[in-house]
Structure 1
Amino acid sequence: MRTDDLIKTLAIDAKRDAPSFSMLWWAGVVAAILVAAVVFFATLGMRPDFAQAAQTPRFVFKFVVTIALAASAFFPARALSRPDDAWRKAMPYLALAPILIISAVLAELFLLPPNLWATRMIGTNSMVCLIYIPLIGIGPLGIFLTLLRHGASTRPTLAGAIAGVLAGAIAATLYAAQCTDDSPLFVATWYTIAISGLAAFGAIAANALARW
């Protein structure tokens, strides 16, 4: 059987099994959130002034960005686990979170005097961010890699990278509840680096585990 014919056959089978496999991804996300929450509360927990911080726009905006990233990464990650081109239609949604954070950064730069830019960007928890977002996200990434392994992705490297973004976004959402650095400059810098690390690891791992 030629490769093109094999891909077409797998695509037809994937469409037949789409409802059940789709449910597996939804179940995987729920499991990933639970695993991430266990790690988060076992290691960090909420920031002491969570109730007061929740009344400030910058604190709330962190969750808007991370949840938007998680939601926009879920659909291409799920689509990339199947051997068809449905993922192409889902990929543009990944632009939502970057647009949000870039807009917030530009607003921050406009409102703050230049001498405060570096201070807000560096913050006080940069190393904590770089350690705990990957730590919280590695369990969810393992769940998503397992789903990819049982799928039929024709682009495992890309699929693993998007799965890493999804895992990182879930982890960042939880970490944001503890992080006392609420500046968009901080979020754009350190959250991005931490999530990118998970994306890189996911790409490498999926290339080894989900290739067929």
Structure 2
Amino acid sequence: MKTDDLITVLARDSSPPWRFRPVLLAAICGSIIAAAALFFAGIGFRPDIAEALGSGRFLFKFVVTITLAVTASLAVGALGSPAGGVRRRGLLLAIAPALLAGAALLELAAIPQSQWGRSLVGHNARFCLTLIPLLAVGPLACFLAALRFGAPANPGLAGAVAGLAASGIAATFYAANCDDDSPLFVMTWYPIATMLVVLAGYVIGRKLLRW
């Protein structure tokens, strides 16, 4: 029997004590609660949150982070099955980066070149690289725990995408604290922080999700 056929049979015949999709939904809810608890307990909103809500650049950060959280969570759902893959979800995962890249290009066209470096560097890079991974710890644990109820064919990839989903949730909360609203800043520092979580998810997933 070919490996692909074996995986298909296992996926059809497996009868886990919990169906994966309800477990994943519970993990998403748990992820949001975990990130929210840490955010409100130790971080909180930026001081000028009321004024920031009137800024399109501030609100756009949430468009990007929520899009990432949703599309990556869908990809986690696909990878939780032995026959699952990210081919169908690959285009969805490209939506958030495409939105951010488009906004960055508009920003470059709208501001003088002399301000590009200042907008890119910002003044919260250190907090971004620290707080997004910190806020992602709980969500990553929830996604990895949910994947244990599935049977991912590629444990490392599943763990990495779990890290991507966790980062999307974490970045959504962090964006409410960060007062660097330039798409250039977001495009530079948010992905670096996200990759730290993705790498952790990959390493942990390879060991934890093997079956």
- Return the alpha-carbon distance in structure 2 between the equivalents of residues 12 and 86 of structure 1: 16
Aligned: 1:96 with 2:95:
yes
SS across alignment from 2:177? coil
1:150 match: 149
CA displacement 1:25-62 (0-9 Å, x = unmatched): 11110000000001111111011111110111000000
Instruction: Answer whether contact 1:62 1:187 (CA < 8 A) is retained.
Output: yes
1:9 match: 9
Number of corresponding residues:
211
Aligned: 1:112 with 2:116:
no
- Over the matched positions of the two proteins, sequence identity in percent amounts to 47
2:130 match: 131
Instruction: Answer whether contact 1:82 1:152 (CA < 8 A) is retained.
Output: yes
- Return the alpha-carbon distance in structure 2 between the equivalents of residues 84 and 202 of structure 1: 20
Unaligned runs of at least 5 residues, structure 2: none
Deviation at 1:86, TM superposition (A): 5.2
- Of 3-12 and 59-68, more deviation after overlay is shown by 3-12
CA displacement 1:83-129 (0-9 Å, x = unmatched): 11453212210010011000000001111111111111111110001
Structure 1 segments, 4+ long, off by >3 Å, are 1-6
- Of 146-155 and 179-188, more deviation after overlay is shown by 146-155
2:82 match: 83
- Return the alpha-carbon distance in structure 1 between the equivalents of residues 39 and 86 of structure 2: 31
1:44 match: 43
Instruction: Answer whether contact 1:81 1:152 (CA < 8 A) is retained.
Output: yes
- Return the alpha-carbon distance in structure 2 between the equivalents of residues 141 and 56 of structure 1: 30
Deviation at 1:137, TM superposition (A): 0.4
Q: Name the TM-score, length of structure 2 as normaliser.
A: 0.94
Which amino acid is the alignment partner of residue 95 of structure 1?
Answer: A
- Return the alpha-carbon distance in structure 2 between the equivalents of residues 186 and 5 of structure 1: 47
Q: Name the TM-score, length of structure 1 as normaliser.
A: 0.94
2:62 match: 63
Instruction: Answer whether contact 2:159 2:198 (CA < 8 A) is retained.
Output: yes
Deviation at 1:167, TM superposition (A): 0.2
- Return the alpha-carbon distance in structure 1 between the equivalents of residues 97 and 37 of structure 2: 28
CA displacement 1:137-180 (0-9 Å, x = unmatched): 01110111111222111111111111001000100000000100
Aligned: 1:207 with 2:206:
yes
Unaligned runs of at least 5 residues, structure 1: none
SS across alignment from 1:206? helix
Instruction: Answer whether contact 1:132 1:175 (CA < 8 A) is retained.
Output: yes
Please report the RMSD computed on the Cα atoms of aligned residues, expressed in angstroms: 1.8
